[in-house]
Each structure stands twice: as C-alpha cells, then as structure tokens.
Amino acid sequence: MTAQWKIRDLELVVALHEEGSLTLAAKRVGITEPALSKRLRVVERNVDATLFERDHDGAKVTEPGRSFVEHAVESVHAFQRAVHSARETKISRRHRLRIGVSSYLPPRLIEQLRATELRLYRDLTIQIVSDYTLELLTQVHHRRLDLALVTSPPQTPTLSSVCVAVFPFRIVFRDTHPLAARNSASLADVAEYPWVLFSRNSHPLLHDLILQRVEAERHKVSIVHQISQADQAVALLTDNQMIAWLTPAGVERVAHWGLVSIPLRDEYIHLETHLAALADNKSPLVSEFFRCFVKRMEERQPPEQLLLPIG
C-alpha cells in the first residue's frame, strides 16, 4: 500500500535535521515533543528506514536519513514557494510586506523600518507584527512573514540575516541602590544582588546565555522574580538590593517611574538586532527592502559606534 504523505511530515524531518534536537524542532514547528516523536516513527515506518538516531544529547541523522532530508528540503521549499506565490497573486500583495518586529526593539528602530522608502515600489504597504523572536522566525519559515527584525536570533542555514545594531542590556534599580553611582556594571557587580530577570520563554537563547556566563565565571545568583513585560519590574524593585535586567526599550517604558539604569559591561551578553529573511526567498521586493534598510542603518549608525552603551 502506498504511504499517505503530508507536507507536514517533511517539515518535521527537515526541522529535526536542522535543529538537531527534538525539543527545538518541536518548538519550531509548533507541536509538542511527544507528538513530533510519534509522527517521526510513522514516517520511518513508511520509508522502512531509521532516519535519526535519538538519545539524550539530541538527534543525529543517519545515512538513509541524510538522503531523505536532501529531497525533503527541496519538496518543502517548493511547496512553501507555491503557497506564497498563490497568496500574492490572489490578493495583489506584490507591493505589500509583512514584517515581524521583536518585542525587545526600541521604538525608533520600528520607526526607521516603516520609514524605509523604495524607489521602485512607491505604493509599498508595510504590515507590522510584534512577537517574541523565535515565534517571529517560525512565521518567517512558514512564509507568513516576509522579513523579521529580531533580537539575537539563532544561526540557521535557512535564514539570511544581517546585524544592524547592537545594544547592551540595562541594569535597573532604585536611585538609592549601591550601584547608582556607577556608570556601568559587570556581571560580577550584578551577581551580588537579587535579580528580576525576563522569563525564559521570552527569549530562551539570551536567558540561557546569561546563566551560562554566570556559571562560567563561577558566580552564584538569586533570581527572585521572572517577568514577561518591562513595566512589571517597577512593582518588584521594592528595596535597595533588587535589580532588574531590561532592554533599552524596556527602560524607556519605565522611565517615568524615576528608576536608574546603567549598561551591563560584558563581552558576550548583549542585544543584537538582525534583519532576517528566508535564504531562498527570491522576491525582488524583499531583496530590495532588505538592501535599502541595511544601507539606511549603516548610514545612520556607523558599525564602529553600534557597541557603545546608550544613555
């Protein structure tokens, strides 16, 4: 009997191959890890071959799996291009871009995004979608978004991205805090005080990076509260010991509460803003917008100044 294939099956296999982890692959395609494992077993039965060797360290593609993935990638990309093209043709989206923006971005970057003008597309309409970085990249992968301006994205061969700005984290506290007299703070400085930190689901990569740096420098920290919105920190900074980790955009949102902020001084922990699109996106409009926005950012913020802490 001929196996009944679904494009979803191929997407799952491709995601697992590229992520190398059941957990990350499941998150990328928007299903649970047990559901992905179950469907993968069905796929392997249909092809009568083991495609991945799974263990606690992740999932490693086998020789049969590598051959399967090669053709699966071609099929998935062809299907996504077909859907994207049909949608554009149906509702005349040739001069409309759907762009995702990270919740961490300063408003001025979003303003610059919307102000980008293309000489060949005078009637361009830009639709903005705001969400967390990983959710936006999932939408880019599924071609629901044309581009995404995201914070510190993971590196993946399916995406083309360019870093257009780099900002330090801001350490926020009451004006009577011991750090209030500092111009900046190191990880060792902030490790001495209890933390209000953003929740892991807000940005898993940055959250894990911070904790890895803490472990690497042999610090012990106390994370008392975890938040998803910057203004929640205001109610939690109740004494002269507590500090909060916020982005520059988050600091702007709580500025009227009279809190003090200084930049974190760390070689590895910072916020990189990337403009990202699918590597195989052949749209002339997307390519032109990508090129023009990156050029505009380079003209407004020379690369050698991007790492300077903002006030």
Please tell me what DSSP assigns to residue 264: B
Out of 68, 87, 106, a domain closes at 87
Same domain for 161 and 173: no
CA–CA separation, 210 and 201 (whole Å): 14
> CB within 8 A of 176, min separation 6: which ones?
240
- Taking CA atoms, 298 is separated from 169, 258, 292, in Å, by 22, 33, 10
Same domain for 239 and 193: yes
Which has more pLDDT, 77 or 116?
116
Out of 64, 87, 110, a domain closes at 87
CA–CA separation, 225 and 96 (whole Å): 41
Quick check: 90 pLDDT over 70? no
Same domain for 189 and 157: no
E runs forming strands in the chain: 52-55, 58-61, 96-102, 125-131, 147-151, 159-167, 170-173, 195-198, 223-227, 243-246, 260-263, 271-278
> Does 240 reside within a domain?
yes
Quick check: 308 pLDDT over 60? no
Same domain for 285 and 156: yes
- Confidence grade of residue 85 (pLDDT, cut at 50, 70, 90): low
> Does 71 reside within a domain?
yes
CA–CA separation, 111 and 133 (whole Å): 18
pLDDT recorded at residue 87:
64
- Confidence grade of residue 140 (pLDDT, cut at 50, 70, 90): very high
Q: Determine what percent of the chain is predicted with pLDDT higher than 70.
A: 91
Same domain for 155 and 134: yes
Same domain for 206 and 75: no
**Mean pLDDT along residues 53-79:** 86
SS3 2: coil
Max mean pLDDT range (124-128, 144-148, 249-253): 144-148
Same domain for 277 and 162: yes
pLDDT recorded at residue 27:
87
**Mean pLDDT along residues 14-28:** 88
Query: Could you report the per-residue pLDDT of 157-173, keeping only the tens digit for each?
Result: 999 999 999 999 999 99
> Does 50 reside within a domain?
yes
Quick check: 310 pLDDT over 50? no
> Does 215 reside within a domain?
yes
Q: What is the CATH number of the domain that holds 289?
A: 3.40.190.10
> Does 310 reside within a domain?
no
**Mean pLDDT along residues 120-125:** 83
Quick check: 24 pLDDT over 80? yes
pLDDT recorded at residue 304:
37
SS3 181: helix
Same domain for 125 and 98: yes
Same domain for 160 and 174: no
pLDDT recorded at residue 3:
54
- Confidence grade of residue 301 (pLDDT, cut at 50, 70, 90): low
Same domain for 251 and 184: yes
- Confidence grade of residue 303 (pLDDT, cut at 50, 70, 90): very low
Out of 59, 87, 115, a domain closes at 87
pTM of the model: 0.69
Same domain for 173 and 32: no
Total domain count, the chain? 3
> Does 311 reside within a domain?
no
> Does 24 reside within a domain?
yes
- Confidence grade of residue 29 (pLDDT, cut at 50, 70, 90): confident
pLDDT recorded at residue 4:
60
Residue ranges making up the domain that contains 129: 92-166+271-305
Same domain for 277 and 134: yes
Q: What is the CATH number of the domain that holds 39?
A: 1.10.10.10
> Does 1 reside within a domain?
no
